[in-house]
Structure 1
Amino acid sequence: MEMRKYRTAMILVIGVLVAIMLWQSFSQPSVSDLKGGFTEVAFYRNENNTGPVVRVYIVTVADVENAEMEAYGNYMLHTKFGNTKVYFFPEGSPTPTNVSGGDVNFSAEFNGFYIAEYEKNASGLVVFERRN
């Protein structure tokens, strides 16, 4: 009888621990919790799996004044020795839908419209520049 009580208690304890771990896993903050109303419009990732991975995101922002753009950039995927760029455009402004890697990521006609740029380079250095 004692062994049955012990086993029941152990199952209960394990069940509670698993429930706590699941709750913790699914209640972590994410991009959707940030202020600003972000929408990803375009994305580029190079197909070179033997070298550095390059990612470029084009994102629109609904609430430019309160947007947590740098925090949004920190949530984006980044690969060690890779490069991640995020360009932020105000919602409703002309926004590129074709994105490429390299130094120039989209057509120059859109340069006057983006409001901020986030970049995390191969060494993990983050540069966030907000434009006026």
Structure 2
Amino acid sequence: MQDITIYHNPNCGTSRNTLALIRHVNGEPNIIYYLETPPSEAKLRELLEQMAMMPRQLLRTNVPPFAERGLDNPDLSDDDIIQHMLAEPILINRPLVVSDKGVKLCRPSEVVLDLLDKPLTEPFVKEDGEVIPPNQP
């Protein structure tokens, strides 16, 4: 079985759907509840590098700490943004999924299929009723 890790927030529908999709196709992943156990600065930088993503691209903008911390300021450096994410992990967008195929921000949840070794062989139904059809050969 493929080793997969998900940085998960159980209060997020996309994160729940991504976790369920991983379980549906691959089995049980390693789950990191990142609000309780946030990544270290080194790990966050590593994940950003592996995704070829700038910190601002991973920043959640629809949570109170975004406005409270003035994160809409375009002059903030990448280091500043990372420090804010470390101080308030809710500012890290999710779910992040790590596999031997890479690291991705899985929004929408079906993006995770690119990281799995096995194809989706039967339909998967998201919480909202949307159906993800099986992978086509």
TM-score (norm 2): 0.26
Higher relative contact order (CA 8 A, sep 6+): 2
Structure with the bigger percentage of strand: 1
